Amino acid sequence: MAAPDATPSFRVGHGFDVHRFSDDPGRQLVLGGVVIDTAPGLEGHSDADVLSHALADALLGATALGDLGQHFPDTDPQWAGASSLELLERVMSMLEGQQMDVLNADCTIVCERPSLSEHIPRMAWQLTSLVGAPVSVKAKRAEGLGALGRVEGIACLCVALVRARDTARGAERDTRSAPS
């Protein structure tokens, strides 16, 4: 059994984000840092990249650092129109400060349209390059159900696995209780 103050070597985080489609014809749809010009953009304070937001939230959750809104609130004008990849880079710096390494992440985008299959390899490559670990990206339809099924917006769910750096270097940390 782990001591109460011991930090686990491996940690899992879950992220979620959802944005509705924007009425602004000049707004670009950005997913995983990839611009998709076959659909309207998403409403949001930043570029509203639900994929990057969900990944960032999963990483913040895995390291118990809160969530994206805490660090980059939509009430702060400095984040207006911000690139979500830039926000994700900042999250990676926070993980670096905690001496945590990303091992992998798995993300699922939920939308009826647009079709994302041709864009997924670029999204996965972009995010994998940025976090320095494999990032899987999948797309699923909502099968006509709910707001996502009515093509009102796009959502993304993501899970990420991170590891404390001393463990990453092979010095496995003993988190067992001391024998009595």
35-66 tens-digit pLDDT: 999 899 999 999 999 999 999 999 999 999 99
* Interval 96-132: pLDDT, tens: 999 999 999 999 999 999 999 999 999 999 999 999 9
> What is the predicted pLDDT for the residue at 73?
86
Three-state secondary structure along 124-148?
HHHHHHHHCCCEEEEEECCCCCHHH
User: By CB neighbour count within 10 A (0-12 exposed, 13-18 middle, 19+ buried), where does 7 fall?
Assistant: middle
Residue with tokens 């980059």: 72
Residue 178 CA to residue 169 CA, distance in Å, equals 24
Task: Note the pTM of the prediction, 2 decimals.
Answer: 0.87
Pairing label, strands 100-110, 135-140: parallel
Q: How confident is the model at residue 1 (pLDDT cuts 50, 70, 90)?
A: low
Residue with tokens 């782990």: 2
Average the pLDDT over 142-163 and give the result.
96
Contact predicate 151/48, CB 8 Å? no
Q: Is the pLDDT of residue 7 over 80?
A: no
Q: How far apart are the first and last CA of the chain?
A: 12
* Interval 87-97: pLDDT, tens: 999 999 999 99
Average the pLDDT over 9-18 and give the result.
96
* Residue ranges of domains in the chain, CATH in brackets: 10-168 (3.30.1330.50)
Q: Is the pLDDT of residue 79 over 90?
A: no
